Structure 1
Amino acid sequence: MTSKESNQTLKRLFSYAKPYRMYLIGALFSALVSVLLSLLLPVFLGKAVDFIAGPGKVDFNGLLRTIAYMALFIAGSCIFQWTMSFCTSKITYFTVKDLRNSVYEKLNIVPLEVIDKTPHGNIINTMVNDIDAVSDGLLQGLTQLFSGIMTIVGTIGLMLSINLGIGFAVILLTPLSLFVASFISRRTYRKFTEQTEIKGEMGGLIEEMLGNQKLIKAFSYEDRALERFKEINARLHKCGVMAQFYSSLTNPCTRFVNGVVYASVGILGAFSAIRGNLSVGQLTSFLAYANQYTKPFNEISGVITEFQSALASAKRVFALIDLEPEPSDEGLLSGIQADGRVSLKNVYFSYDKSVKLIEDLNLEVKPGSRIAIVGPTGSGKTTVINLLMRFYDADKGTIEVSGVDIKKMQRKALRNMYGMVLQDTWLFEGTVRENIAYGKEDATEEEIINAAKAAYAHSFIERLPNGYDTVITKEGSNLSQGQRQLLSIARVMLIKPPMLILDEATSNIDTRTEIHIQKAFARLMEGRTSFIVAHRLSTIKESDLILVMNQGRIVEQGSHEELLRKEGFYHKLYYSQFHVTQT
């Protein structure tokens, strides 16, 4: 990251902290006062030594007065250090909260293809680990950096006021400390940046493997998955070792510099004291300042190391925030009177622009029609659904609902016209009642129960420990796959939309239950335009129109009987599922 990029990143980060700048001002003020009080201690320590220097020359009154001042300074320094920590924590947590909110809000408005193309583990790692790194390395390190610089400047000023010669000697040794800090920070930044990227890669792999454990075990992929993990882990180990190696140089290197400065002050101060240019107390103050002067370099070196790591993390966070959102729906139609007519005219679309998928797709759907979409894997069936719902926008051509181009209406309005049941169910952690009412939060108890009965889910819900108040665990792990699918169907039964999309909606339900569900869908689909994506062709015989897709095109269309009589692509597809040959 260049210096310009670093400055831009810092500027953006502090724009998030701007609403809480009073806490920042409080932290900096507290740090300043705490440093000033701690800098006064060596002065009074030197005076205390001078009060007891020499036999019979102890000034008890002066000594007690000096000790009282020192106690006061120590207490004040502790109070302001606590205040500094309090203000720093406040601004850090508030800023991090807003930063995470910004990332989450952006994820809700980016196009679906961005989510599809980005490993989910990377996104999770950015939202959790990278933002934590920003919190620890940038925001909390700010006051440490400020107090460290103030300590160095203040210490130099006080040493010069005591003895110019020794003060200048310490200043001449300062570049050695700066060189050490610069040497370490440059090398740690590169390694911490690389380490952050590998952590994101590892997070993506772990998320992928944990989410597909059944598939991994079914295909005996454990060894290959382990090899992939080991390869990434080996790179992370190598990079981490080097990052920690350079980072670990901080303490011994700065301690060496501390020793050089302390020894120089001790030797020069001793000669000055012998010549009578310094009192014993002043020499004591000088030695205390020498120790105090070098200590901030340790802290600053550590802070700079964390800064480098945090800047790399902040860049990843802002890269996520800067993702291009979906075009605004402002000014578009908020709703239309949908009659169920759907039209696709000269539609072209592909996920990868170099690989053609849907080309010149044309379709006219009458109100209340049941449209089945069939075809081999990769033919474009689910892609048509994505286009109808505007999860993706067509590259060319228009899609109209009730004569209105869907690009002229708000996405929310369009999607509210459809009820959608997918093969992959999704349930959230909450009660059965809350999951059914997901699309209609103000639904009455009677409506929820009727929807469950219509989906043939009521009977199994009643057998659950707490009925409709039973809490579903994460992703519905305490329910069977079929039960989860029934609840998903009940959601649609509740909202009764004007149009339906059923994408393999009964694929995870046993045959007996499927018969009931098909009857329920038949009632639900009466008077509603329905799109049914199915691999089991036996489930779509009653459709008004069957669209047979292959390589992104509609190669055949007609009723079940018409398509069988043609003895074309559908004929082969249908009878291939029953392993019989027509003669």
Structure 2
Amino acid sequence: MKWRTVALTENSSKTTSAARYMLAGLLRHKGAIVAATLLTGISAFLMTMPNVLMGSAIDELTVSGLSSRFMFYVWTITGLAVTYMLMYFLVGYVWAIVTLAWERDARQEFFEKIQEFSMAFHDTVDSKRMLSVAMQDISWVRFSLNPALRNLISGLSSMLITGILLVSYDRAPGLTGLVTLAGISLPIFTLIMAIGAPVYLAFAYRYANTVEPVRRARSETMEKLTSVAQGVFAGIEVVRAFGAEDKEKAKFQNVSEKYADIVAREGRLAAFYPPAVVLIAMTATAFLYGAYAVMLGAMSVGDLTSIIGLLFSLEFLNFQLPRMLLMLRAGYVNAQRIVDILNWKDPLVEPEEEASGINWLGDIVFDHVSFQYTTGSRKSGHYALKDFTVTIPGGSRVALIGGPGGGKSTVLKLLLRFYDPTEGTISIDGVGLQRIRTKTIRDAVGLVEQDIFLFRGTIRENIAFGRKGATDEEIIEAAKRAQAHEFIVQLPKGYDTVIGERGMTLSGGQRQRLAIARAILQDPKILLLDDSVSAVDAETEFHLRKALDEVMKGRTSITVTQRLRTLLESDLIIIVDRGRLVASGSHEELIRTSEHYRRIFERLPGAQAMIRRAVLSGGVA
């Protein structure tokens, strides 16, 4: 049985509760879940009826011996037992199909929702927490639905059926008037169920509430455990380089022991189940009353056997219900953790109607732009950019320079609309970026990042990542233009060579060339390069410069750089320092007018030799 993957909430932008989240996936398959619930009720009925027939069989055996009627009871009980076993497996199968479909849909929706959030979300929510929620919390919610919810429905159905049957025994002629109060006949079995069942359920609910803080602590500690492990695996080279294996082992053991303590506490809660005392009291009271009725001849031994059998069948709840309540309440806690992420309010809002006819080769204007990154749930208080105003002519080559933390990478991120400005506006050809959907922007704006990220997969897949349906010829051509083809064909499987996580099996220069090939294949109208030739030797840089010269034609390019050649070849140089615009202009203009630029320029490799030559020739560097 298969279902199409669906969202678990009616509207992805709509806030949902944990309970609704848990049930929404089940309600997507109403026919299957209704059938599963009915089958669960029927299964409970089949489990209860043999107790009634057992009493009738004992009475028949006492009166008539091994009569045909007695054998009828025997075969009926056997048939009910076999039917119950078949029904049990059928019920388990249907519930498994529905809840596994829920888990699949929930994990898919979670992944898709995370993809929709802006980078502000990833600044706020740790990746280890997302991994823990996506893999463990969703699985725990599924466990709370099956087997916990299924067995809870089965147990409550058994209690309801048992209550109805016990009430029917009170209507027997012999029991009427057996116990009276102020002349009124008391239906003892009815009172046992009417008083005992609500008290039992009330204590069970209170017990379930005690589980919540324990399960929340368990989930959070597992998140920390995942974080420690993931940190070590991601930074294994640093751990080995500093000989910190023992330190990391001790850190992991410390968190692991805390987790074990919480699990043990959860186990103790499951072992000590106060509502069990209520059920034992109900059974004891019913037995004493039934025994009194048998002694007076008001009830047969068979009927007493049936009643005790019914109540003892409920004793199974004392073994099953604590664990099921614990799992159900725990699932609610896990669902709340998931919902907290799904309900995250994104500050970046997509326009309802997108601007059309955008000229991506138009001027890019930063108009009094200020920006703060988010730390936790609040702005950091520190401006990465402050009152930044500059106009970048369309089709120009721009160099962006400044000291560390000056705001250079922030400019690129805002152009990609990873974030919206805290204050001010950014426009292209007079159209504000906030009027353009992020997908449209990222189809038109390409990035070669400084910290190159390559996915675990083939070289072919990594180059074609930004362009769906790229042909082999286009991939190879992009690699050639990025000066990557030569080293690729020397690898064991060429373009089908699988590279390690983050491309760690390649050198820094090779990773950068693949990133440039990826950007070339995307063919963006605006190209952003974040120090993209910093990890290559002089010869490779020469070839890359030739490739980049070619790919920059007919488009706007903005390069974060400290390279002398890039500055000299740029149409516009923008200097940012501590988030503020210091100066902008061509190299010739800035070398004459900006002391800040001259200081930067004089420190660049090769600059002093150029200055000396300029002085000797009587010109400007």
Quick check: TM above 0.5?
Answer: yes
Matched, 1:345 2:367: yes
Equivalent runs, 1:134-153 vs 2, <5 Å: 134-138=141-145, 140-153=147-160
What residue identity is the alignment partner of 1:35?
A
Contact 1:335 1:414 in 2 (8 A): no
Task: Choose from 15, 34, 44 the match for 2:53.
Answer: 44
Choose which of 444, 461, 465 in structure 2 pairs with 1:417. Answer: 444
**Aligned partners of 2:417 and 2:438 also within 8 Å:** yes
Deviation for aligned residue 1:44: 1.4
**1:24 maps to 2:33:** yes
Contact 1:340 1:498 in 2 (8 A): no
Q: CA deviation at 1:456?
A: 1.3
Q: Secondary structure at the match of 1:354?
A: strand
Return the offset for 1:402: 2.7
Structure 1 residue 91 corresponds to structure 2 residue 118: no
Give the Cα separation in 2 of the matches to 1:347 and 1:310. 45
Q: Any conservation in 1 of the 2:384–2:410 contact (CA below 8 Å)? A: no
What is the match of residue 451 of structure 1?
Answer: 478
Provide the aligned length of Structure 1 versus Structure 2.
573
Give 3-state SS (helix, strand or coil) of 1:306's partner.
helix
CA distance in 1, matches of 2:120, 2:30: 38
Q: In the alignment, which of 410, 413, 431 is matched to residue 404 of structure 1?
A: 431
Whether the 8 Å contact between 1:347 and 1:362 is mirrored in structure 2 is yes
Q: Identify the range of structure 1 (318-327 vs 21-30) with the bigger mean alpha-carbon deviation.
A: 318-327
Query: Which of residues 262, 268, 282 is equivalent to 1:239?
Result: 262
Q: What does residue 178 of structure 2 align with?
A: none
Q: Secondary structure at the match of 1:364?
A: strand
Separation in structure 2 between the aligned mates of residue 380 and residue 225 of structure 1, nearest angstrom: 35
SS at match of 2:304: helix
Contact 1:371 1:547 in 2 (8 A): yes
1:547 positional shift:
1.9
Q: Compared with structure 1, are the counterparts of its residues 171 and 364 closer, same or farther at alpha carbon in structure 2 (3 Å cutoff)?
A: closer
Separation (CA, whole Å) in 1 of partners of 2:22 and 2:457:
36
SS across alignment from 1:22: helix
Task: Report the more deviating stretch, 448-457 or 269-278.
Answer: 269-278
Aligned to 2:461: 434
Between 434-443 and 496-505, the greater mean CA deviation after superposition: 434-443
SS in structure 2 of the partner of residue 424 of structure 1: coil
Find the aligned partners of 1:169 and 1:361 in 2 and give their Cα distance: 77
Matched, 1:313 2:334: yes
Query: Using the alignment, how far apart are the partners of 1:11 and 1:498 within structure 2?
Result: 45
What is the identity, as a one-letter code, of the residue corresponding to 1:193?
R
Residue 517 of structure 1, CA deviation: 1.2
Amino acid at match of 1:194: A
Query: In the aligned structure 2, how far is the partner of 1:460 from the partner of 1:42?
Result: 78
Shift, 1:454, TM fit: 1.0
Aligned to 2:376: none
Q: Which residue of 1 aligns with 2:164?
A: 157
Q: Deviations over 1:181-212 (max 9, x none)?
A: 34532322221122223333443444344323
**2:138 paired residue among 123, 131, 136:** 131
Q: What amino acid is aligned across from residue 382 of structure 2 in structure 1?
A: V
Alignment pair present for 1:33 and 2:47: no
Shift, 1:508, TM fit: 3.0
Deviation, 1:25, is 0.7
Distance verdict in 2 for CA 1:279–1:29, change over 3 Å: same
CA distance 1:342–1:170, change in 2 (3 Å): closer
1:495 maps to 522
2:342 corresponds to which letter in structure 1? Answer: I
For residues 377-423 of structure 1, the C-alpha deviation after alignment (integer angstroms, 9 at most, x for no partner) is 11100011111111111122222223332223232222222221112
CA distance in 2, matches of 1:189, 1:345: 50
1:108 aligns with 2:115: yes
Q: How far apart are the structure 1 equivalents of 2:452 and 2:384?
A: 27
Amino acid at match of 1:302: R
| Equivalent-residue separation in structure 1 for 2:145 and 2:240 (angstroms) | 43
Deviates more, 1:253-262 or 1:430-439: 253-262
Unaligned runs of 5+ in 1: 1-6
Q: Give CA-to-partner distance per residue, 1:512-534, whole Å, 9 cap, x none.
A: 32222122112222332211112
Q: Secondary structure of 2:569's match? A: coil
CA distance in 1, matches of 2:141, 2:416: 38
RMSD (Å) for aligned C-alpha atoms? 3.0
How far, CA to CA, are the matches of 2:389 and 2:196 in structure 1? 79
Asked if the contact 1:170/1:265 (under 8 Å) is kept, the reply is no
Residue of structure 2 in register with 1:184 after alignment: 207
| 1:202-213 map, 5 Å | 202-213=225-236
In the TM superposition, what is the alpha-carbon distance from 1:274 to its structure 2 partner? Answer: 3.2
Post-superposition CA distance 1:8-38 (Å, at most 9, x none): 5323432332220111110111011111222
Q: Deviations over 1:27-84 (max 9, x none)?
A: 1110111112222101211222223337xx4133122211121122122222322232
User: 1:291 deviation in Å?
Assistant: 0.9
**Contact in 2 for aligned 1:257/1:294 (Cα 8 Å):** no
Change (3 A) 1:525 1:578: closer
Name 1:284's counterpart in structure 2: 305
Q: Which residue of 1 is the match for residue 544 of structure 2?
A: 517
Report what 2:86 is aligned to.
79
Structure 2 CA distance for partners of 1:354 and 1:431, relative to 1, 3 Å: closer
Partners of 2:31 and 2:193 in 1: CA distance: 36
Whether contact under 8 Å (1:340, 1:499) holds in the other structure is no
| Cα distance in 1, alignment partners of residues 315 and 545 from structure 2 | 79
- Normalised by the length of structure 2, the TM-score is 0.84
In the alignment, what sits opposite 2:219? Answer: 196
2:590, 2:598 within 8 Å by CA — same for their partners in 1? yes
How big is the shift at 1:566? 5.9
**CA–CA distance in 2 between the matches of 1:334 and 1:228?**
55
Gaps of 5+ in 2: 1-15, 171-186, 374-378, 613-621
Q: CA deviation at 1:118?
A: 0.8
* Paired residues of 1:92 and 1:140 also in contact (CA < 8 A): no
- Which has the higher mean CA deviation after the structures are superposed, 281-290 or 268-277? 268-277
Q: What secondary structure sits across from 1:425 in the alignment? A: coil
Q: 1:429 to 1:227 in 2, by over 3 A?
A: closer
Q: Distance in 2 between matches of 1:504 and 1:580?
A: 18
| Aligned mate of 2:409, from 362, 382, 388 | 382
Please tell me whether residue 324 in structure 1 is matched to residue 341 in structure 2.
Answer: no
Tell me which moved more, 160-169 or 501-510. 160-169
Provide the identity percentage. Answer: 28
For 1:227 and 1:165, locate their aligned partners in 2 and report how far apart those are by CA, in whole Å: 62
Are residues 227 and 383 of structure 1, via their aligned partners in 2, closer, same or farther at CA, if it must alter by over 3 Å? farther
Q: Which residue number corresponds to residue 558 of structure 2?
A: 531
Tell me, in whole angstroms, the C-alpha distance in 1 between the residues paired with 2:243 and 2:589: 44
Aligned 8 A contact 2:564 2:605 in 1: no
Q: Distance in 2 between matches of 1:309 and 1:535?
A: 54
| Amino acid corresponding to residue 329 of structure 1 in structure 2 | P
SS at match of 1:419: strand
Is this contact kept in 2: 1:379–1:551, CA < 8 A? yes
With over 3 angstroms needed to count, the CA separation of the structure-2 counterparts of 1:26 and 1:265, relative to structure 1, is same
1: distance between equivalents of 2:270 and 2:150?
20
Task: Indicate the SS of the match to 1:356.
Answer: strand
Q: Partners of 1:165 and 1:398 in 2: how far apart?
A: 78
**CA distance change for structure 1 residues 19 and 477 in 2, over 3 Å: closer, same or farther?**
same
- Give the stretch that moved more between structures: 300-309 or 321-330: 321-330
Deviates more, 1:301-310 or 1:94-103: 94-103
8 Å contact 1:121–1:206 — kept in the other structure? Answer: no
2:321 is the alignment partner of 1:300:
yes
- Whole-angstrom CA distance in 2 between matches of 1:499 and 1:110: 23
Return the letter of the residue paired with 1:296.
L
TM-score by length of 1: 0.89
In structure 2, give the amino acid aligned to 1:332.
Answer: E
SS at match of 2:510: helix
How far apart, in 1, do the equivalents of 2:262 and 2:89 lie? 37
